[in-house]
């Protein structure tokens, strides 16, 4: 069994910690949320098919979508982000404190290489003081289901790692994403996630069709943080 670290609670993580983080770390002051990014893209004639547009859009999409899993995230994207696209906290009903989260977002629809997961072991090196070491979870978001290689890399990773498949429009829609898959390794469980699990529910999509969405389970019951609205999780 992996020893559980002794962590100091983050006081009111959804407010005080994240407000300090947002004010000190924003590398793109021209936009701090999906609506402000879209306005910025229109004002600067940024092509919706460009790599910058699609990558930035997906980062904000992930921040919005992961809020339904208990994450509160701020975008850090930029040349000096040290591989961290989003960072913030992960508050779960099984814990009296919030875990720290460092998130990488892969907007392309190709397969994610297992090496990308293993790279999360060093992603905390570029994080600011207080966001490294014990109590920090590395999160990797992609648009496709995890391959066998990715699942094995998550399992073997030497640090707490969560894989989330976040699906959504390609940058020209309403910014609503779906969580299709959630995986984590034993080191995440060692942080105190006893009683947490992952389930699937059916949701209406498109023209009345049914889709599948992954949800967190707390003691076998679907769980979602209270007060999460569309757009939550953006700095």
Q: Is residue 176 scored above 60 in pLDDT?
A: yes
pLDDT band (50, 70, 90) for residue 184: very high
Q: Quick one: pLDDT band at residue 126, thresholds 50, 70, 90?
A: low
Residue 210 pLDDT class (50, 70, 90 cuts): confident
Distance CA 94, CA 194 (A): 7
Using the predicted structure, report yes or no on whether residue 16 has a pLDDT greater than 60.
no
Report the distance separating Cα 136 and Cα 120, nearest Å.
Answer: 11
pLDDT at 194: 94
Which tops the pLDDT comparison, 60 or 23? Answer: 60
Residue 6 has pLDDT above 60, yes or no: no
C-alpha Rg value of the chain to the nearest Å: 17
**3: pLDDT confidence band, cut at 50, 70 and 90?**
very low
Task: Report the predicted TM-score, pTM, of the whole model to 2 decimal places.
Answer: 0.83
**CA distances, 234 to each of 30, 71, 132, 178 (Å):** 14, 10, 22, 16
pLDDT at 2 > cutoff 60: no
187 pLDDT exceeds 80?
Answer: yes
pLDDT tens, 63-121? 999 999 999 999 986 655 667 899 999 999 999 999 999 999 999 888 899 999 988 88
Residues 165 and 176 sit within 8 Å (Cβ to Cβ): no
Task: Give ∠ CA 100-121-7 in degrees, rounded to 5.
Answer: 30
**Greater pLDDT, 203 or 186:** 186
Q: Which of 32-46, 105-119, 167-181 has the least mean pLDDT?
A: 167-181
Q: Where are the domains of the chain?
A: 13-223
- Strands of the sheet containing 196-205, edge to edge, are 196-205, 209-218, 221-223
Residues 211-221: tens digit of each pLDDT: 889 999 999 99
**pLDDT at position 185 over 60:** yes
Please provide the distance, in angstroms rounded to a whole number, between the alpha carbons at the two ends of the chain: 37
Mean pLDDT of 118-131: 75
């Amino acid at each position: 069994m992996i020893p559980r670290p002794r962590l100091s609670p983050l006081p009111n993580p959804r407010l005080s910690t994240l407000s300090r983080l947002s004010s000190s770390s924003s590398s793109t002051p021209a936009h701090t949320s999906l609506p402000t990014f879209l306005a910025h893209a229109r004002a600067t004639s940024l092509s919706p098919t460009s790599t910058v547009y699609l990558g930035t859009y997906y980062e904000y999409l992930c921040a919005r979508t992961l809020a339904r899993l208990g994450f509160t995230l701020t975008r850090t994207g930029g040349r000096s982000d040290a591989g961290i696209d989003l960072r913030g906290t992960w508050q779960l009903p099984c814990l009296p404190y919030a875990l720290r989260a460092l998130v990488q977002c892969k907007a392309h629809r190709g397969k994610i290489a297992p090496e990308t997961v293993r790279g999360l072991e060093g992603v905390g090196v570029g994080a600011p003081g207080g966001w490294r070491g014990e109590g920090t979870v590395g999160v990797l978001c992609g648009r496709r289901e995890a391959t066998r290689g990715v699942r094995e890399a998550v399992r073997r990773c030497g640090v707490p790692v969560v894989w989330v498949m976040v699906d959504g429009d390609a940058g020209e829609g309403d910014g609503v994403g779906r969580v299709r898959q959630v995986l984590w390794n034993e080191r995440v469980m060692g942080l105190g996630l006893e009683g947490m699990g992952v389930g699937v529910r059916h949701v209406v999509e498109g023209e009345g069709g049914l889709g599948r969405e992954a949800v967190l389970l707390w003691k076998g019951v679907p769980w979602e943080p209270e007060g999460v609205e569309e757009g939550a999780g953006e700095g």
